[in-house]
Amino acid sequence: MYRGRFAPSPTGPLHFGSLVAAVASYLEAKQQQGEWLLRMEDLDTPRNMPGAADAILRSLEAFGFEWDGPVVYQSDRNDLYSEMLSNLQESGRLYPCGCTRKEIADSAIHGIEGVIYPGTCRNGLPPGKAARAWRVRTEDRTIGFDDAIQGHISQNLARDIGDFVLKRADGFYAYQLAVVVDDAHQGITHVVRGADLLDSTPRQIYLQQLLGLPQIGYAHIPVVLNEQGDKLSKQTQAQPINPRKATTEIFRALQFLGQNPPAELEMGAHENLWQWAHAEWSFNRIPNQLAVRYQS
């Protein structure tokens, strides 16, 4: 049984980039006769925007998405994350880290996602340092997987990323831990999401291995860039998607995903467009690029 999901962070309203991820994950799940679940990634409470989670659900509804089961909220699941963290702690995979951001930034080694943690606290907290965050030990071996769109991807976590944080100094569980625990707990078999998360996937596979969870299938769709070449996001002032223009927005998302919706469907009710999309959806037409510029 195929089970996919869409996992928005309620840091603001949905923009075109998030709509594209929703459309791709939804149509693929439906075509595979599977289920499509929704999860609010509202763990990073300080970044949440009040009312955004409800606004996201309302606009998904207005756009005609139909999801299976109740919406899961990460903020309700701290007990589960804590249990999983304890499992890793007991098996000696974690260590407390007392380094400040500034101390780590002073390290000279850069990986593919910022500075590689220099390992200062790896063998125990140095005298005078108190635990701030919890890190997982990475290993010097290759973790590879076949992405259904981007092809074969591999990383050596020790060399490319470094020991990464699973519980942050501010007390919140890190995205990498929560996403792995939730995908497993919700029985997700396939993840379709933006290629901005491609570099996170080997970390997620590593955590699945450490926690004895099943490895899932991944497909990373190209990130939507605006005319200036920046990723659509709250920071780049991406416009919220407009439920009054639902059909046009879905039509454009399908075009971005390499599908060829017939022009006459851009005008009518979104139900007709969805009907076409369910029948004609072709995963192989999604451009196998990391990012694509989109003229709005």
Give contact residues for ligand GLU (rule: CB under 6 A). Answer: 7-9, 41, 179, 193, 197
Distance of closest approach, residue 9 Cβ to ligand GLU, in angstroms: 4
| Smaller CB separation from ligand GLU, 24 or 265 | 24
Chain center to CA of 229: 21
What is the number of H-type helices and E-type strands within the chain? 9, 14
Please give the structure tokens belonging to residue 272.
């007709």
User: Which of 254-259's residues contact partners 24+ apart within 8 Å by CB, and which partners?
Assistant: 254/23, 256/20, 256/222, 256/224, 256/292, 256/294, 257/20, 257/23, 257/24, 257/221, 257/285, 257/286, 257/287, 258/282, 258/285, 258/286, 258/287, 259/285
Shortest approach of ligand GLU to residue 264 CB, angstroms? 33
In angstroms, give the least distance from the CB of 187 to ligand GLU: 15
Report, in Å, the least distance between residue 81 CB and ligand GLU. 15
C-beta separation of 114 from 100 below 8 A:
no
* Closer residue to ligand GLU (CB): 16 or 95: 16
133: phi then psi, degrees, rounded to nearest 5 = -130, 170
**Nearer to ligand GLU among residue 34 and residue 96 (C-beta):** 34
In whole angstroms, the minimum distance from the beta carbon of 231 to ligand GLU comes to 11
Based on CB atoms, which residue is closest to ligand GLU, 132 or 193?
A: 193
By beta-carbon proximity to ligand GLU, the closer residue of 10 and 119 is 10
